[in-house]
């Protein structure tokens, strides 16, 4: 059964293997990391940093899984409450499992948590102008383009432009600060 579950410290060794297998797949899209990042020790440190930020409320991190098997990662980053109530999505899926709806299903779960449980009002995602699969993905699950971010991120040797996508909460009525559950 494909789904998402919260990332835990115990996921570090499996995640190191998954990152190693996908290093080439991700090189075009994600900032490359030092070799240490792809080891169980490196992942333990990376996961611990992520979980520390998560405890502070700044992000939520999930593992995409098929049963016990990890298939990728999805994060809700830069969570801001107050009058913004926003968060930014980042994700990737194992190269052997792309094109089968894994990301769509995972993102729908994230939207449910973000809007219905956290009461966020806006989700954003920045997608490279040359990442057609990701553009298609976000548009298909209801995100709308709101602009172009020039030189948005440094990946694979240069600054890359990205399209800004947003999705407002289903409860948005132009007046309420948060949902009336």
Ligand X SMILES: CC(C)(COP(=O)(O)OP(=O)(O)OC[C@H]1O[C@@H](n2cnc3c(N)ncnc32)[C@H](O)[C@@H]1OP(=O)(O)O)[C@@H](O)C(=O)NCCC(=O)NCCS
SS3 32: coil
Q: What is the dihedral of CA 87, 89, 90, 96, to 10 degrees?
A: 150
Tell me which of 101, 142, 164, 179 binds ligand X, using CB under 6 A.
101
From 61, 93, 111, 169, residue interacting with ligand X (rule: CB under 6 A): 93
Structure tokens at 153: 């991120």
Q: Which residue, 48 or 150, is less far from ligand X as judged by CB? A: 150
Give SS3 for 167.
strand
Q: Which position among 99, 157, 175, 180 is part of the footprint of ligand X (CB under 6 A)? A: 99
164 binds ligand X (CB under 6 A): no
Name the residue among 111, 118, 116 with its Cα closest to residue 165: 111
Q: What is the pattern of x (binds ligand X, CB under 6 A) and - over residues 9-28?
A: -----------------x--
Containing 160, the helix (H) or strand (E) segment is strand 158-168
Q: Does 49 bind ligand X (CB under 6 A)?
A: no
Say whether residue 142 binds ligand X (CB under 6 A).
Answer: no
Q: Whose Cβ is closer to ligand X: residue 14's or residue 81's?
A: 14
* Residues in 63-92 at the binding interface with ligand X, rule: CB under 6 A: 91-92
Q: Burial of 159 by CB count in 10 Å (0-12 exposed, 13-18 middle, 19+ buried)?
A: exposed
Residues within the interface to ligand X (CB under 6 A): 26, 29, 91-93, 98-104, 125, 127, 131-134, 136-137, 140
């Amino acid at each position: 059964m494909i789904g998402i579950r919260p990332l835990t410290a115990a996921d570090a060794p499996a995640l190191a293997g998954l990152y190693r297998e996908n290093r080439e797949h991700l090189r075009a899209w994600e900032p490359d990391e030092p070799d240490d990042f792809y080891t169980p020790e490196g992942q333990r440190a990376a996961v611990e940093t992520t979980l520390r930020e998560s405890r502070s409320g700044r992000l939520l991190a999930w593992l995409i899984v098929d049963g016990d098997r990890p298939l990728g990662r999805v994060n809700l980053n830069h969570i801001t409450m107050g009058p913004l109530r926003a968060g930014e999505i980042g994700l990737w899926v194992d190269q052997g499992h792309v094109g089968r709806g894994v990301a769509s299903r995972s993102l729908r779960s994230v939207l449910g948590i973000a809007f219905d449980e956290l009461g966020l009002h806006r989700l954003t995602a920045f997608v490279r102008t040359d990442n057609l699969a990701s553009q298609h993905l976000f548009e298909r699950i209801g995100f709308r383009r709101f602009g172009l971010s020039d030189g948005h991120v440094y990946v694979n040797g240069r600054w890359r432009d990205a399209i800004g996508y947003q999705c407002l909460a289903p409860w948005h009525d132009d007046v309420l600060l948060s949902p009336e559950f």
